[in-house]
Amino acid sequence: MTTASPATALTDTVLYEERGGVALITIANPPVNGLGDMVRRGLADGMARAAAGAAVRAVVLQGAGKLFCGGADIRQFNTPAATAQPMLREVNRTIERAVKPVVACIHGVALGGGLELALACHYRIADAAAQLGLPEVNLGLVPGGGGTQRLPRLIGAPAALKFITSGKPVDARQALALGLVDAVIDGEREAAAIAFALDKADSAAHPVLADKPPAAMSAAEMKAQREALNPKARNATAQRTAVDCVQAATELEFEAGLDRERALFDGLVAGQPSKALRHLFFAEKEATKFSSTTARAIRSVAILGAGTMGGGIAMAFANAGYGVVLCEREQAALDRGLALVRRNYEISAAKGVLSAAEVEARLARIQPTLDMAAFADADLVIEAVFEDMAVKRAVFAQLDRICKSGAILATNTSRLNIDEIAAVTQRPQDVIGLHFFSPAHVMKLLEVVRGARTSDEVIAGCMRMAAAIAKIPVLVGVCEGFVGNRMLTGYWREAGFLLEEGATPAQIDAAMQGFGFAMGPLAMADLAGMDINWATRKRLAPTRPKHLRYSQVADRICEQGRFGQKTGAGYYRYEAGSRTPIPDPVVDGVIADCAREAGITRRAVSDEEIAERCVLALVNEGARIVAEGIAQRASDVDVVYVNGYGFPAWRGGPMFHARSLGWKQVLQKLQALHAQHGEHWVPAPWIVQQAGQA
């Protein structure tokens, strides 16, 4: 006989229902069924009720809505709710020790604590479209609910170690192959889960991972996997800690392993790197948000300019399945651009990232042309030609004539005023900036620059498009250099001053790498090409206040025809075909000359001073950008700097870093620098305000 009881709520977020001898415990905590304190309590209550229910022979644990469970409630970390009883560890123990079989029925995703919960169940079945993963390392953490101890006991330590340190989810079929799930279901999920659970109800015993002995893995293999980790990864500490946890699973009994995992988790969750990575997790989601009732649809894309930028942008779209028209003025330039695109794809193929067929399929999506008339039907046109206002205006006047009504006309300018460009068209509402970062097929950041008259519909269309091509868009306003490059100006300014005061290029770069930057500011200038900034400085020279200190070093280096790597020399010199910067006495001479002419007595400059001045220059300008509304929020500045400029993710971006130092302390440092080095260091009023509120 089939019995059913109406679903009742154990807490606001967990439902309980008995159907045909099976207790259905359903997590209903939108948006991601996160395992907050109330959910954990509800799960424990549900298990108690199922144990007591005379008619209950088995239990199915599932998620309501789109997914099983997105893991711990990240927003609760570092709050009392995170450690409120019962902790996930206790809930898992209750599930594992249940006499009646418990089946996790996974759909959508089972991530982090969600998968740990499923691992505590006796059986796991997954919908064919489900994704399963332990992504904690991406947040600077390790699984803290027993995942590092149960998974090695289920799928073996070597596979578990890779699974946990990569943080990458697998799909249901891969999970089945790994032994992570017992079955993949194609049909009606709940019915399949109930049938599966009833089938197991009469078994004498159910698999309990906690009862298994430590997992096996040789010390040599453990060492090899540890050494294979990338020490420069943004989450390197968490990955190393994950190896420690798995090692514990190979050496300790289950309970002792759990204790070790918990202690390591507690250390990470309290630390700054994880707080910074969690800040970025939410900041990146926040940055993509833009509310508009309509969004302009983008199905076809055209790009003008097949240089490094244009080609990279074309690849970004082709990778996401878009057809792209790529236009150049001359055949030779078009051929060069396409050859570079092909070479980039072939490098990916050589690394095993792409198959030969996929390379051809992507290349086939890029349609080369010498005729801009081919742009007539494009929904989005991106101009990636020479960075010069007159050139851009001429191009936009032409695009205005050629492109269909409703097409979005975008410029990839990294500095120029979008409004001046838009003014040459009859449709300024359709003109926008899309500032891709080089190499555009790799870099995730996209500054979406709204002009004074850009319509919301166009902005919304571009924000949506960015997600479709796997970019992280940040909406910014018009000003010299927008967010990222505008902040670089102050950063490079301080680097120039520090050179004059006594530092060497190699010392500055090493100090900034020591702070955590992927690359120092001067090596970065050499990589990007010093001529571009030189042109900008010359353009802005007439408006530069003459009483302000100005370092001549960069200009003098450029005057010698040294533009960085592309000319074999810049702040450093480079051997032919090499990207390794070699300190150059010629540059030391230039620096010494500039210092002498400026009346500066050179002194020993410490690495701490270098890092502090360069980073605070970013922070002070970031604060002005926020106050002016050029960035919508301080966290957007962080997203830009981490994803576009190599700021260490584990420090959360310049604004999060400053907030963590404390705005009062930041203000004091700025005031001291102001007193010592003058007007460049006037503290941004926004920081004065933050310090007042602190």
| CB-CB neighbours of 314 under 10 Å | 32
Binds ligand COA by CB under 6 A, chosen from 10, 106, 109, 687 = 109
If the CB atoms of residues 287 and 623 are measured against ligand COA, the closer one turns out to be 287
Binding mask 118-137 for ligand COA (x = CB under 6 A): -----------------xx-
Q: Is 168 in the site for ligand COA (CB under 6 A)?
A: no
Query: Among 116, 284, 447, 501, which one carries the catalytic annotation?
Result: 116
If the CB atoms of residues 139 and 192 are measured against ligand COA, the closer one turns out to be 139
Burial of residue 681, with CB atoms counted within 10 A of its CB: 0-12 exposed, 13-18 middle, 19 or more buried: buried
Q: Which residues pair with 125 in a beta bridge?
A: 105, 183
Binds ligand COA by CB under 6 A, chosen from 21, 26, 34, 690 = 34
If the CB atoms of residues 134 and 372 are measured against ligand COA, the closer one turns out to be 134
- Report the alpha-carbon distance of residue 523 to residue 508 in Å, rounded: 10
Residues contacting residue 245 through CB under 8 Å, at least 6 positions apart: 142, 143, 148, 149, 164, 257, 260, 261, 264
Q: Is 31 in the site for ligand COA (CB under 6 A)?
A: yes
Q: Is 503 in the site for ligand COA (CB under 6 A)?
A: no
Burial of residue 357, with CB atoms counted within 10 A of its CB: 0-12 exposed, 13-18 middle, 19 or more buried: exposed
If the CB atoms of residues 75 and 232 are measured against ligand COA, the closer one turns out to be 75
- Report the alpha-carbon distance of residue 359 to residue 354 in Å, rounded: 7
Alpha helices in 69-218 (DSSP H): 88-97, 113-120, 147-155, 157-166, 172-178, 189-201
Binds ligand COA by CB under 6 A, chosen from 25, 32, 209, 215 = 32
Q: Is 636 in the site for ligand COA (CB under 6 A)?
A: no
Q: Is 139 in the site for ligand COA (CB under 6 A)?
A: yes
Query: Among 18, 96, 136, 494, which one carries the catalytic annotation?
Result: 136
If the CB atoms of residues 269 and 630 are measured against ligand COA, the closer one turns out to be 269
Q: Is 111 in the site for ligand COA (CB under 6 A)?
A: yes
- Helix H or strand E encompassing 156: none
Binds ligand COA by CB under 6 A, chosen from 121, 141, 309, 630 = 141
Q: Which of 484, 557, 494, 561 is nearest to 521 (CA)?
A: 494
Binding mask 269-308 for ligand COA (x = CB under 6 A): -------------x--x-----------------------
If the CB atoms of residues 34 and 564 are measured against ligand COA, the closer one turns out to be 34
Residue 417 CB, shortest distance to ligand COA, in Å, is: 32
DSSP class of residue 599 equals T
If the CB atoms of residues 160 and 407 are measured against ligand COA, the closer one turns out to be 160
Residue 67 CB, shortest distance to ligand COA, in Å, is: 6
- Report the alpha-carbon distance of residue 213 to residue 157 in Å, rounded: 12
Q: Is 112 in the site for ligand COA (CB under 6 A)?
A: yes
- Helix H or strand E encompassing 86: none
Residue 108 CB, shortest distance to ligand COA, in Å, is: 8
Alpha helices in 529-605 (DSSP H): 530-540, 553-559, 585-597
If the CB atoms of residues 282 and 386 are measured against ligand COA, the closer one turns out to be 282
Q: Is 213 in the site for ligand COA (CB under 6 A)?
A: no
Respond yes or no: is residue 136 known to be catalytic.
yes
Residue 598 CB, shortest distance to ligand COA, in Å, is: 50
Task: Annotate 165-176 with b (16+ C-beta within 10 A) or e (fewer).
Answer: bbbebbebeebb
Residue 285 CB, shortest distance to ligand COA, in Å, is: 5
Number of residues this chain uses to bind ligand COA (CB under 6 A) = 18
Contact at 8 Å (CB) between 148 and 241?
A: no
DSSP calls for 642-670: HHHH---GGGT-HHHHHHHH-HHHHHHHH
- Report the alpha-carbon distance of residue 178 to residue 196 in Å, rounded: 20
Phi, psi of 63 (to 5 degrees): -115, 145
The beta strand positions in 384-494, using DSSP E, are 408-411, 431-436, 445-450, 472-477
If the CB atoms of residues 136 and 555 are measured against ligand COA, the closer one turns out to be 136
Stretch that binds ligand COA, among 13-21, 87-95, 107-115, 192-200 (CB under 6 A): 107-115
Binding mask 39-78 for ligand COA (x = CB under 6 A): -------------------------------xxxxxx---
Residue 32 CB, shortest distance to ligand COA, in Å, is: 4
Tell me the chain's radius of gyration from C-alpha atoms. Answer: 29
Respond yes or no: is residue 96 known to be catalytic.
no
Q: Is 88 in the site for ligand COA (CB under 6 A)?
A: no
Closest residue to ligand COA in the complex (CB) = 112
Phi, psi of 119 (to 5 degrees): -70, -25
Q: Which amino acid, residue 312?
A: G
Stretch that binds ligand COA, among 108-116, 181-189, 297-305, 316-324 (CB under 6 A): 108-116
Catalytic residues: 116, 136
Contact footprint for ligand COA (CB under 6 A): 31-32, 34, 70-75, 109, 111-112, 135-136, 139, 141, 282, 285
